[in-house]
Copies of this chain bind each other. A is one copy, B any other.
């Protein structure tokens, strides 16, 4: 095993991936235990875990806390400029969506949001915290801040469904301009806990500021995604 000059853990990574493909492990199927792999590859758990970490970073496998390692499902294709909603987006791609509302409140506008939203200091805003899953795997935590003036009574609705569908159908609101911000960021603290992953797991952060057709602040949201769960596509035209 140690004859070439590539590190053992990269050799293990490649052989393990070959093994996975040969045995045709499919989405969400479980890998052998780390100790078994260590015995099979005649090395220690530390090195095995380094190899597993590589495959994890590449998005090929993921871990479920103290349960084991599993094959990563294919990425969801996600167009943040559209409003087809999570449920439709996921089902259209042949996957099973799930949404849980973890909390929803009418809160005072946080300081950092007053400037962004243009809402007056001390005024109120709807806050909805949701966790969403694909094929029973939690993939994203979403913080929504919605202008209550545009949609009074929103929180009495079922927020496990698409908020944008509610806004469109019950309140006749349609999004206009959107400012989107995306960057890789590790999941830590509350977000890591909510998704059941370890602190430091790779993630993708996305935030959207949405105004309605007349330029009034409508919604602001922050989404914390597992790094391997999605592919973002956007279509733009030159300004």
Q: How far is the CB of A108 from chain B (nearest CB, A)?
A: 28
List residues of chain A with CB under 8 Å of any chain B CB.
Answer: 10, 53-54, 57-59, 75, 80-83, 174-186, 188, 199-204, 213, 227-228, 230-239
Q: Copy number of this protein in the oligomer?
A: 2
Q: Are A232 and B202 in contact (CB under 8 A)?
A: no
Determine which residue in A183, A201, A228, A234 has the highest number of CB atoms from chain B within 10 A of its CB, and name it: A183
Measured between alpha carbons, how far is A238 from B176 in the docked complex, in Å?
5
Measured between alpha carbons, how far is A178 from B239 in the docked complex, in Å?
11
Measured between alpha carbons, how far is A141 from B119 in the docked complex, in Å?
42
| Partner of A200 from B54, B203, B228 at Cβ < 8 Å | B54
Measured between alpha carbons, how far is A203 from B228 in the docked complex, in Å?
12
| Partner of A235 from B179, B185, B200, B204 at Cβ < 8 Å | B179
Q: How far is the CB of A190 from chain B (nearest CB, A)?
A: 14
Q: Who on chain B is nearest to A60 by CB?
A: B186
When A54-B186, A184-B202, A204-B184 are in contact, do A238 and B59 touch as well, CB less than 8 Å?
no
Q: Are B227 and A184 in contact (CB under 8 A)?
A: yes
Q: Are A227 and B202 in contact (CB under 8 A)?
A: yes
User: Which residues does chain B contribute within 8 Å of A200, judged by CB atoms?
Assistant: 53-54, 57-58
| Partner of A236 from B59, B231, B234 at Cβ < 8 Å | B234
